[in-house]
């Protein structure tokens, strides 16, 4: 089985560690790179070409939506999820406009693994069609 390489971006080191633990605890998933701000997220996405990207919304330099807006055209078809404390219908609308598949609230963090699985399955289904 080919591993799924995931880029995580969050300005909080603790949250990056939590995400790494969650991701690497799942068989076949690996964190290929981490970023502490939006500019790093864009640069590392282009450099590492991950299979899936998880962005925090509130990051320095570029927020998650701004970063997604730059990553999406550079890596078409790569699912982008926003994992944030600030989930709202307005944020979801803005995120959707720049190619984000889903916004998940950190308060419902248990939804992250199913969201990753769903985004991964959808991206592979689209490639097969």
3-state percent helix, strand, coil for the chain, nearest multiple of 5: 50, 20, 30
| Nearest alpha-carbon partner for 83 in 60, 62, 101 | 101
Per-residue pLDDT of the chain (129 residues), as tens digits, is 678 999 999 999 999 999 999 999 999 999 999 999 999 999 999 999 999 999 999 999 999 999 999 999 999 999 999 999 988 999 999 999 999 999 999 998 889 999 999 998 888 765 544
Q: What is the pTM of this model?
A: 0.94
| CA–CA distance, 111 with 129 (Å, rounded to integer) | 27
The alpha carbons of the chain give a radius of gyration, in whole angstroms, of 13
Strands 80-84, 102-105: pairing is: parallel
């Amino acid at each position: 089985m080919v591993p799924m390489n995931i880029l995580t971006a969050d300005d909080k080191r603790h949250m990056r560690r939590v995400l790494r633990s969650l991701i690497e605890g799942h068989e076949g998933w690996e964190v290929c790179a981490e970023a502490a701000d939006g500019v790093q997220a864009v640069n590392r996405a282009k450099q590492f070409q991950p299979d899936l990207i998880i962005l925090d919304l509130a990051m320095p330099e570029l927020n998650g939506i701004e970063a997604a807006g730059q990553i999406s055209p550079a890596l078409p078809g790569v699912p982008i999820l926003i994992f944030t404390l600030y989930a709202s219908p307005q944020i979801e609308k803005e995120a959707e406009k720049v190619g984000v598949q889903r916004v998940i609230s950190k308060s419902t963090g248990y939804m992250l693994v199913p969201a990753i699985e769903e985004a991964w399955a959808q991206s592979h289904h689209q490639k097969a069609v």
